[in-house]
Copies of this chain bind each other. A is one copy, B any other.
Amino acid sequence: MTTYQAEIQIMLKPSVLDPAGTAVTKALQQQHYDGVQQVRIGKFIQLTLLAPDLAQAQAQVERICREVLTNPVIETYRFTVEAKA
């Protein structure tokens, strides 16, 4: 078994309102951080797991994302998996 490190990025779908992101956008604009147009806030999850090989680690992470970590109605996700140093 090898230890793998997965990094998962979860974003709200573009059609879903993001009030926290809108608040940060306005705050940055009012504080004169020039050029800021839009901010959207999602989740970043680091997951450490044991698996026999990379393919099975990826399959397990995909399953965990789909079944537990994300709401497919309003969120999308992407992830990377690599062997942990």
Q: Take A28-B68, A68-B28 as given contacts and tell me if A39 and B46 are in contact as well, using a CB distance cutoff of 8 Å.
A: yes
Copies of this chain present: 2
A48 contacts which chain B residues (CB < 8 A)? 36-39
Q: List 30 A-B contacts (CB under 8 A).
A: A1-B35, A3-B37, A7-B9, A9-B44, A10-B44, A11-B44, A21-B45, A24-B45, A27-B68, A28-B64, A28-B68, A33-B64, A33-B68, A34-B60, A35-B49, A35-B50, A35-B51, A35-B60, A36-B47, A36-B48, A36-B49, A37-B48, A37-B50, A39-B46, A39-B47, A42-B43, A42-B44, A42-B45, A43-B44, A44-B44
| A 54-77 contacts with B by CB, 8 A | 57, 60, 63-64, 68-69
